[in-house]
Amino acid sequence: MSSSAETAASRPLRVAIIGAGPAGVYAADILSKSSEVKDGHLEVSIDLFEAYPAPYGLIRYGVAPDHPRIKGIVNALHKVLDRGDIRFFGNVTYGRDLTLHDFRSFYDAVIFSTGAIKDAELDIPGIELEGSYGGADFVSWYDGHPDVSREWPLEAKEIAVIGNGNVALDVARMLSKHADDLLVTEIPDNVYQGLKNSPVTDVHVFGRRGPAQVKFTPLELRELSHSNDVDIVLYPEDFEFDEASDEAIRSNNQIKTMVNTLTNWLVEEHAESEQPSSRRLHLHFLHSPVEVLSEDGSGKVSGIKFERMQLDGTGNAKGTGEFIEYPVQAVYRAIGYHGSALDELEYDARRGVIPNDGGRVLGADGKPVPGIYTTGWIKRGPVGLIGHTKGDALETIGFLLEDRLSLPPAETPDPQAIVDLLEERGIEYTTWEGWNRLDAHEAALGAQWTAENPDRGITRERVKVVPREDMIRISRG
Ligand code: NAP
């Protein structure tokens, strides 16, 4: 085995990145463009692994289909992977197909960018009832995630969505929109059919604090009013502002814009005399969930109970002792994502992250584990927009480069060795060329739909392929 100092000098640094969402691709891009690499001090050879057969993680399986602007980030990520200096291995699951020991044998450093895809838990009675769902699971369904059921029970007329973040807005918008208005997007056929048959009339979004404490972003909030045949309904008694709210409105432009938007909607709603829409999206504030109800003992959701809250001066809310119930037949909690534990790594179960110091992964003794790094939501928790992940990657890559002379060198650094191992284990991995094939196939499905439905006047750029086996078959030619 060569010494680590010799390793860095005598051959390219071998780095594996696990998770090909934005966090992983940004890390790969930043590493490959770092000044050490550009100035020729260091050669790097990067392999990017992904558990799904396709790349782009959260952008493909987390961003709502009617958000083409955010989905467009894919174009930037595509350019990075299309340069040819980063190898892509899809359909390879860490901990099952390859172990930490495998990665350590083939690479000098491993970066975990596995994100967060599970729903945070909401510990209230009745949350387990039939008709109570995690928002993240619903997102996975409408985004055609290969590992979730093709069917989603959309039987409720009245629905509660808990949470005041952008995921709650996505879930509420997707539940309330008319399916035909989503045909311009890449939604798979099963999602279109499911939404088309939904009998929904009212979607209620509940925040536990006030209008100045929402976690939405202004663009995403304003977009709610663009849904065809969906009225937004607000309640004057929910418009409470304490000193901290006033300060937030003064000092934070985003909050100011959102409070203005909400207040304008409230005023317009009460002045309105237009024809009412067939669906309504209600925004409620100062409602803290207490219990999901099942009236008749059927085990099915029949309502939801909240405690009315009041602001305490600091922007936080406290209970008033007053309770209110709403009849709903489905409840979606969108109160945040939670990262999952990874084999052979420490895990902070409360925050759902890998314990780390600026991206250097920490062991049980609280010290950095040589050669192991993390970036993205599994590093810092599921907060922030996609672009924020770049800063994370910069920090992690900075530490990796700082450590490069002391990394435990790979025993088998030959880039072909990992390919041989995957083949030997019979793992049906997909490649960048394979993704290009699947990408072209999905675009062709869109073109086919457009040609077969000329009367609809809709151009579909893509229709997603959902079953994992189909994705693999098409990718592997
Ligand atoms: P989030 O922004 O953290 O919002 C979580 C919401 O859940 C907050 O309103 C929070 O209220 C509420 N909540 C938490 N625990 C609760 C409880 N026990 N009872 C009632 N309410 C509770 O999380 P997110 O919506 O999952 O979004 C995650 C990140 O992805 C965010 O940065 C978001 O902007 C981003 N994202 C962006 C887009 C986009 O279109 N740009 C789309 C989706 C997600 P408190 O504030 O009171 O804690």
Predicted pLDDT at 376: 97
CA distance 315 to 240: 10
**Homologous superfamily assigned to 118-337:** FAD/NAD(P)-binding domain (3.50.50.60)
* Gap from CA of 169 to ligand 1 centroid (Å): 9
Question: Which amino acid residue places its CA nearest to atom 14 of ligand 1?
Answer: 335
Residue 13's pLDDT band (boundaries 50, 70, 90)? very high
List of long-range contacts for 247-250, beta carbons under 8 Å, 24+ apart: 248/212, 248/213, 248/315, 249/212
Question: Which amino acid residue places its CA nearest to atom 1 of ligand 1?
Answer: 165
Q: What is the pTM of this model?
A: 0.94
CA distance 137 to 237: 32
Q: Is it the case that residue 7 has pLDDT exceeding 90?
A: no
Report the pLDDT averaged over residues 249-274: 89
Percent pLDDT > 90 in the chain is 89
Residue 305 in contact with residue 290, Cβ under 8 Å? yes
* Gap from CA of 33 to ligand 1 centroid (Å): 33
> Among the atoms of ligand 1, which is closest to the Cα of residue 337?
26
Q: Which tens digits make up the pLDDT trace of 23-68?
A: 999 999 999 999 888 888 889 999 999 999 999 999 999 999 999 8
Predicted pLDDT at 144: 94
CA distance 38 to 29: 12
Residues in the ligand 1 pocket, defined by CB under 6 Å: 67, 70, 122, 162-168, 170, 207-209, 213, 215, 217, 220, 289, 334-337, 382-385
Residue 3's pLDDT band (boundaries 50, 70, 90)? very low
SS3 361: strand
Q: Hey, where are the domains in the chain?
A: 3-116+339-429, 118-337
CA distance 172 to 232: 11
CA distance 30 to 25: 9
- Of residues 293, 292, 323, the one with CA closest to residue 307: 323
Indicate the range of 33-37, 281-285, 290-294 predicted with least confidence: 33-37
Percent pLDDT > 70 in the chain is 97
| Tokens of residue 79, six digits | 């350019």
**What is the rounded average pLDDT for all residues in the chain?**
94
Predicted pLDDT at 194: 96
Question: Which amino acid residue places its CA nearest to atom 13 of ligand 1?
Answer: 335
Report the pLDDT averaged over residues 333-362: 97
Predicted pLDDT at 384: 86
Report how far apart, in Å, the C-alpha atoms of 69 and of each of 5, 117, 226, 383, 416 are.
45, 21, 15, 19, 38
Predicted pLDDT at 272: 59
Q: Please indicate whether residue 244 or residue 1 has the higher confidence score (pLDDT).
A: 244
Question: Which amino acid residue places its CA nearest to atom 38 of ligand 1?
Answer: 166
> Among the atoms of ligand 1, which is closest to the Cα of residue 335?
7
Report the pLDDT averaged over residues 334-340: 97
Q: Is it the case that residue 6 has pLDDT exceeding 50?
A: no
Q: Is it the case that residue 1 has pLDDT exceeding 70?
A: no
Q: What angle do CA 402, 407, 412 make, to 5 degrees?
A: 140
Q: Is it the case that residue 421 has pLDDT exceeding 80?
A: yes
> Among the atoms of ligand 1, which is closest to the Cα of residue 209?
47
Residue 461's pLDDT band (boundaries 50, 70, 90)? confident
Report the pLDDT averaged over residues 328-357: 97
Q: Is it the case that residue 462 has pLDDT exceeding 60?
A: yes
Report the pLDDT averaged over residues 250-258: 98
Q: Is it the case that residue 86 has pLDDT exceeding 50?
A: yes
* Gap from CA of 337 to ligand 1 centroid (Å): 8
| Tokens of residue 138, six digits | 């619903």
Indicate the range of 264-278, 344-358, 392-406 predicted with least confidence: 264-278
Q: Is it the case that residue 221 has pLDDT exceeding 50?
A: yes
Q: Is it the case that residue 2 has pLDDT exceeding 60?
A: no
Bridge partner list, 12: none
Report the pLDDT averaged over residues 401-424: 96
Q: Which CATH architecture has domain 3-116+339-429?
A: 3-Layer(aba) Sandwich (3.40)
Report the pLDDT averaged over residues 293-321: 95
Q: Which tens digits make up the pLDDT trace of 356-398?
A: 999 999 999 999 999 999 999 999 999 988 888 999 999 999 9
Residue to mutate, 127, 167, 169, 307, ligand 1, most ligand atoms under 8 Å from C-beta: 167
Q: Which tens digits make up the pLDDT trace of 223-233?
A: 999 999 999 99
